[in-house]
C-alpha cells in the first residue's frame, strides 16, 4: 500500500510540473501579448503561436486535479473547501483566457479586439499569480486544525504566498518570451529576444528572495537536511536558470527554452520533495496535516489507477509530441494575412 501512495505522490508532483512547463509559456505569452504585439496583425501572430496547443495543455491541469481527487480524495475535498474562493477565481481567470483567445479573431472591430486583448492579459497574469499564491500557501502550511481552516482569501495573500506568486509570474514570463523568440519572426521575434534578458534579471532576484523566504517561512528544507541527496533537485533548477541566460547569450534559443522548461519542472520538484509526505501541511499542528497516508484512496483504487496511468499517459505524451512537431515552425505575418480566421 505504501509504495502505491508514494508512487501517486510522485505522479501528482510530476503532473503539476508538466502542466506548468507546458501552459507556462501560454500564460507568459498572454501577459506579453499586448506589450510585444504593436498592432492587430502582430497580436494575431502571437495568438496563433499558442492557438493549436493551449487547449491541449490544460489536459495536464485536469489530470492533476483528477489524480488528486482519485488518489487523495480527503485532501481534494479539504483543498476545494478551504481554498474555494481562490480556486474559483483561478477557474474564472482560466475561462477568461480561453474565451479571449477564441473570441478575439471573431470580428475585425478594433473595440472588440481591444476588449479581448485585455482578457488575454488578465487570463495570463491572474492564473500565474494565483497558482503561485496557492502553492506558496501549501508550502507554508494552512492554519487548520480539528475545527477546520482558520483563514480566508485575504489571509492567503501573505508575504510568502505573494513572493511565490511573483516567482511563478516571472518564470512564466521568461518561458513565454523564449517561446515567442522561437515561434515568431521579424520585429516580434526581436522584441521578444530584447525583453527576455530583462525578465531573467528580475527572475533571478525573485528566485533568490523566494529561496531565502522559503528557509524561514516553511519547513520544506527539513527533508533536504534529512536526505541531502534531495539537494540535487534545487541545484538542477539553479543550473536550468543559469542555462537560460548562458545559452541565450550564445544565441542558442532552443537550448535556452529547454533550460527554462528544466527550471520550471525542478522548481516544482523542489517544492514537492520538501512537502513529502504532506499534501497540505498544517501550520497550527502537524498532526492535522493532510498526508499521503491519511488521505489516500484504497489499495485497489490506487492499483487500478496505476494500470490506467501506465496505459494512457504514454499515449497522451506521444500525442503531445506529435502536435508540437506538427506546429513546430514559426508563425509569420504573411501566414496570418493569408488566413482570415485566427485561432
pLDDT digits 0-9 by tens, 171-223: 999 999 999 999 999 999 999 999 999 999 999 999 999 999 999 999 999 99
Residue 21 confidence (pLDDT) above 60: yes
pLDDT of 198 reads 96
* Dihedral pair phi/psi, residue 291, rounded to 5°: -120, 175
Q: Is 74 inside any structural domain?
A: yes
Residue range 297-326: mean pLDDT, rounded: 91
pLDDT band, very low/low/confident/very high, at 343 (cuts 50, 70, 90)? very low
Give the burial class of 147: count Cβ atoms within 10 A of its Cβ; 0-12 exposed, 13-18 middle, 19 or more buried.
Answer: exposed
Residue 142 included in any domain: yes
* Averaged pLDDT of the chain: 92
Residue 93 in domain: yes
Confidence of residue 51 (pLDDT cuts 50, 70, 90): confident
Domain containing 194 equals 2-338
How many structural domains comprise the chain? Answer: 1
Average pLDDT, stretch 30-41? 92
Q: Is residue 140 part of a domain?
A: yes
pLDDT for the residue 82: 87
How much is the average pLDDT of 243-263? 97
Is residue 64 within 8 A of residue 23, CB to CB? The reply is: no
Cell 500564460 identifies what position? 27
343 is a domain residue: no
CA-closest candidate to residue 127, choices 106, 147, 160, 100: 100
Q: Residue 133 domain-assigned?
A: yes
Can you tell me the mean pLDDT for 111-116? 92
Judged against a pLDDT cut of 80, whether residue 228 lies above it is answered with yes
Does residue 191 belong to any structural domain of this protein?
yes
pTM, two decimal places = 0.94
Helix boundaries (H) for 51-185:
54-71, 73-82, 84-103, 110-140, 153-156, 159-183
Residue at 195 is within a domain: yes
Q: Among 51, 29, 28, which Cα is nearest to 104's?
A: 51
Reply yes or no on whether the pLDDT at 322 is more than 50: yes
pLDDT score, position 327: 87
pLDDT (average), residues 147-165: 91
Amino acid at each position: 500500500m505504501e509504495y502505491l501512495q508514494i508512487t501517486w505522490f510522485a505522479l501528482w508532483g510530476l503532473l503539476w510540473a508538466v502542466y506548468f512547463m507546458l501552459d507556462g509559456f501560454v500564460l507568459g505569452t498572454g501577459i506579453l501579448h499586448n506589450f510585444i504585439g504593436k498592432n492587430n496583425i502582430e497580436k494575431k501572430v502571437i495568438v496563433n503561436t499558442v492557438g493549436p496547443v493551449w487547449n491541449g495543455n490544460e489536459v495536464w491541469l485536469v489530470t492533476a486535479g483528477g489524480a488528486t481527487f482519485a488518489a487523495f480524495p480527503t485532501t481534494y475535498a479539504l483543498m476545494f473547501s478551504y481554498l474555494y474562493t481562490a480556486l474559483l477565481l483561478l477557474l474564472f481567470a482560466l475561462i477568461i483566457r480561453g474565451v479571449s483567445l477564441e473570441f478575439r479573431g471573431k470580428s475585425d472591430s478594433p473595440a472588440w479586439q481591444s476588449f479581448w486583448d485585455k482578457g488575454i492579459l488578465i487570463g495570463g497574469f491572474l492564473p500565474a499569480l494565483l497558482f503561485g499564491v496557492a502553492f506558496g500557501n501549501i508550502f507554508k502550511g494552512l492554519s487548520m486544525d480539528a475545527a477546520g481552516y482558520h483563514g480566508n482569501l485575504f489571509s492567503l495573500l501573505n508575504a510568502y504566498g505573494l513572493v511565490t506568486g511573483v516567482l511563478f509570474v516571472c518564470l512564466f514570463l521568461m518561458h513565454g518570451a523564449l517561446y515567442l523568440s522561437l515561434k515568431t519572426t521579424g520585429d516580434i521575434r526581436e522584441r521578444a529576444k530584447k525583453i527576455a534578458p530583462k525578465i531573467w534579471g528580475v527572475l533571478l532576484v525573485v528566485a533568490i528572495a523566494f529561496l531565502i523566504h522559503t528557509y524561514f517561512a516553511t519547513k520544506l528544507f527539513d527533508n533536504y537536511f534529512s536526505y541531502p541527496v534531495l539537494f540535487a533537485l534545487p541545484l538542477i533548477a539553479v543550473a536550468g536558470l543559469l542555462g537560460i541566460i548562458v545559452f541565450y547569450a550564445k544565441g542558442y534559443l532552443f537550448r535556452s527554452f529547454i533550460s527554462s522548461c528544466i527550471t520550471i519542472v525542478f522548481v516544482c520538484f523542489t517544492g514537492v520533495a520538501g512537502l513529502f509526505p504532506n499534501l497540505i501541511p498544517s501550520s497550527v499542528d502537524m498532526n492535522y496535516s493532510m498526508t499521503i497516508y491519511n488521505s489516500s484512496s484504497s489499495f485497489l483504487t490506487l492499483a487500478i489507477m496505476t494500470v490506467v496511468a501506465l496505459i494512457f499517459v504514454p499515449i497522451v505524451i506521444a500525442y503531445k509530441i506529435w502536435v508540437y512537431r506538427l506546429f513546430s515552425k514559426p508563425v509569420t505575418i504573411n501566414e496570418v494575412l493569408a488566413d482570415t480566421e485566427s485561432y
